[in-house]
Amino acid sequence: MLEIKNLSVSMDGKQLLTDINMTVADGARHLLAGHNGSGKSTLAQTLAGNPEYTIDNGTIIFNGHDITGENTTTRALMGIFLGAQNVPEIPGLTVLSFLKHSMAAHKNFETGHDLSMGEFLENLESAREKLDIPKEWLNRSVNVGFSGGERKRIMLLRLVMTKPRLAILDEPDSGADATVQRQTADIIHEMTDTTFLFISHQKNFTDLVGPTNITTLSHGKIVIE
């Protein structure tokens, strides 16, 4: 599903990742481990196409396609989902509108057809009930006034609705209580058509997920064990 070859990344001239080589198998629950500042979030952001990070060398192959030069939008439409650790607030854009535009873009990219309102509402209601998300959340601005755990649940709603090929989750357990952590782990296990690359420092959560593979970073390099 994902192959990273000799990847080196910098920001503002500072080297952050050096010669990263790793593969993520189709259907894996792959844990990216390491101490704070080891480069895990940098790798997650780079894979998602964050333009703040400069790829100095190397190649990223996703689902058989070289995406090294592709922008964030194209990568997302191709099926790469990022559940970031620190998410922005977007005043004036409701959760409902955000989800509708996101699903419509994916539908058009994948099929060339428009998303019908009926299809959207059916998927939304199914996902909302699955995650026990109150209806009133849908009319609130994205992430504005939501607690850490509530933001994680909105992230899960987007994940369940878009059904990505690869989901990169940067500390989905951070700021989440035990119930949300269990809910997140259950979703990861249920979404068998999605490959997961996730970052976590909490053993209780990683035990719930049961990673199939572990890659450890230290000082921007992979630790060879």
> How confident is the prediction along the chain (225 residues), in pLDDT tens digits per residue?
999 999 999 999 999 999 999 999 999 999 999 998 999 999 999 999 999 999 999 999 999 999 999 999 999 999 999 998 878 899 999 999 999 999 999 999 989 999 999 999 999 999 999 999 999 999 999 999 998 889 999 999 999 999 999 999 999 998 888 999 999 999 999 999 999 999 998 999 999 999 999 999 999 999 976
CA distances for 178 relative to 39, 159, 199, angstroms: 26, 19, 17
Selection from 169, 167, 171, 21 nearest residue 80 by Cα = 167
What is the CATH number for 145?
A: 3.40.50.300
Task: Evaluate whether 17 touches 42 at the Cβ level (below 8 Å).
Answer: yes
How many folded domains does the chain comprise?
A: 1
Name the amino acid, one letter, at 221: K
Q: Is the Cβ–Cβ distance between 176 and 204 less than 8 Å?
A: no
Cα 158 to Cα 224: distance, rounded to the nearest angstrom: 35
> Could you give the count of Cα atoms lying within 13 Å of 139 in the half-sphere of its Cβ?
3
The whole model's pTM is what?
A: 0.93
Residue with tokens 């026990």: 132
Residue pointed to by tokens 């209806």: 135
Q: Which domain holds residue 171?
A: 2-222
